[in-house]
Structure 1
Amino acid sequence: MEFPFDALRRWPDVEAPDLVAVDAADRLLLDLSQEARREAAPDEVVVIGDAYGALTLASAADGEPVRVHQDSLLGERALAANAEALGMSGVFRSMPLTAELVRDARVVLLRLPRSLDALDDIAGLIAKYAHPSVRVFAGGRIKHMALAMNDVLRRFFGRLDVSAARQKSRVLIAAEPRGGRDPEPKRAQVGDLAVCAFGGVFAGAGLDIGTRFLLDTLSRPIRDGALVVDLACGNGIVGVTLARHHPRVRVHASDVSAAAAASARATAAANGVDDRVEVIQDVGLSSVPDGVADVIALNPPFHTGAAVHERLAHGLFADAARVLAPDGELWTVWNSHLRHRSALERLVGPTRQVARNSKFTVTVSRSG
Structure 2
Amino acid sequence: MPFDFADLRRRPDFEAPNLVAVDATDRLLLDEAATSLAGLAPGELVTVGDHYGALTLGAAHLHGLTGIRVFQDPLVGELALAANAAEAGLSDVSRSLPLSPELFAGARVVLLQLPRSLAALDEIVGLIATHAHPEVVVYAGGRLKHMTIGMNDVLREHFSVVYAGLARQKSRVLTASEPVDPPVESPWPRTQRHDELGVGLAVAAFGGTFAGSKIDIGTRALLEVLPQASPAAEVIVDLGCGSGVLAVSAALARPAARVIASDQSASAVASTAATAELNGVADRVTVVRDDALSSQAPGSCDLVLLNPPFHVDAAVEPGVALKLFEAASRVLRPGGELWTVYNSHLKHRDTLAAVVGETRQVTRNPKFTVTVSVKA
Assess same fold via TM > 0.5: yes
Q: Does 1:14 align with 2:18?
A: no
Q: 1:226 aligns with which of 222, 234, 256?
A: 234
Alignment match, 2:368: 360
Q: Name the SS for the 2:345 alignment partner.
A: helix
CA–CA distance in structure 2, aligned partners of residues 221 and 52 of structure 1: 38
Q: Which structure 1 residue ranges, 5 or more long, are not aligned?
A: none
Report the alpha carbon displacement of residue 223 of structure 1 after superposing the two structures with TM: 5.4
Deviation sequence 1:61-98 (CA, Å, 0-9, x none): 12111111000000000000111111111110111111
> Residues 68-217 of structure 1 correspond to what in structure 2 (within 5 A)?
68-178=70-180, 179-182=183-186, 184-191=188-195, 192-217=200-225
Identity of aligned residues (%): 57
**How do 1:54-73 and structure 2 match up within 5 A?**
54-61=54-61, 62-65=63-66, 66-73=68-75
CA contact under 8 A between 1:128 and 1:182: conserved in structure 2? no
1:323, distance to aligned residue in structure 2 (A): 0.3
Root mean square deviation of aligned Cα: 1.4
Counterpart Cα distance in 1 of 2:310 and 2:155: 29
Residue in structure 1 matching 2:299, options 291, 305, 309: 291
Larger mean CA deviation between 304-313 and 239-248 belongs to 304-313
Q: 1:276 pairs with 271, 280, 284, which one?
A: 284
Aligned match of 1:23: 23
Give the drift of 1:135.
0.4
**Corresponding position of 1:48:** 48
How far has the Cα of 1:202 moved from its partner? 0.9
CA displacement at 1:162 relative to structure 2: 0.6
| CA shift in 2, pair 1:225/1:319, >3 Å | closer
Helix, strand or coil: the match of 2:154? helix
1:255 maps to which residue?
Answer: 263
Q: Which sections of structure 2, spanning at least 5 residues, go unmatched?
A: none
One-letter amino acid of the counterpart of residue 91, structure 2? S
Map 1:272-351 → 2, pairs under 5 A = 272-351=280-359
Q: For residues 262-298 of structure 1, what are the alpha-carbon distances to aligned partners after superposition, in whole Å with 9 as ceiling and x for unaligned?
A: 0000000000001100011110111111111111000
Q: Which amino acid aligns with 1:146?
A: T
Residues 1:305 and 1:319: Cα distance change in structure 2 (over 3 Å): same
**1:230 and 1:254 in contact (8 A); partners too:** yes
Could you list the structure 1 runs, at least 4 aligned residues long, displaced by more than 6 angstroms after superposition.
none
Whether the 8 Å CA contact 2:262–2:290 is kept in 1: the answer is yes
The letter for the 2-side match of 1:100 is: E
1:72 maps to a residue whose letter is: P
How far apart are residue 305 of structure 1 and its match?
Answer: 2.7
Q: Deviations over 1:207-238 (max 9, x none)?
A: 10011001112222655670000000000000
Kindly tell me: are residues 221 and 199 of structure 1, through their superposed partners in 2, closer, same or farther at Cα, counting changes over 3 Å? closer
Q: State whether residues 2 and 88 of structure 2, in contact with CA within 8 Å, keep that contact through their aligned partners in structure 1.
A: no
Looking at structure 1, the residues matched to 262 and 36 of structure 2 have their Cα atoms a distance apart, in angstroms, of 38
The residue identity in structure 1 corresponding to 2:298 is D
Structure 1 residue 2: deviation in Å? Answer: 8.8
Aligned counterparts of 1:180 and 1:304: Cα–Cα separation in 2: 33
1:355/1:221 CA distance change after superposition, 3 Å: closer
The answer to whether the 8 Å contact 2:230/2:337 transfers is no
CA 1:49–1:221: 2 relative to 1, 3 Å: closer
Note closer, same or farther for the CA distance 1:36–1:71 as it changes in structure 2 (3 Å cut). same
Q: Which whole-Å CA distance do the structure 1 matches of 2:160 and 2:347 have between them?
A: 49
**Structure 1 residue 302: Cα displacement:** 1.4
Q: Which moved more, 1:221-230 or 1:242-251?
A: 221-230
Does the 8 Å CA contact 1:125/1:183 hold for their aligned counterparts? Answer: no
When structure 1 is superposed on structure 2, of 300-309 and 289-298 the one drifting more is 300-309
Question: How many residues were matched structurally?
Answer: 368
TM-score by length of 2: 0.95
Partner AA of 2:148 in structure 1: A
Give me the whole-angstrom Cα distance separating, in 2, the residues matched to 1:350 and 1:164.
55
CA distance in 2, matches of 1:136, 1:76: 21
Q: Distance in 2 between the 1:58 and 1:101 partners?
A: 19
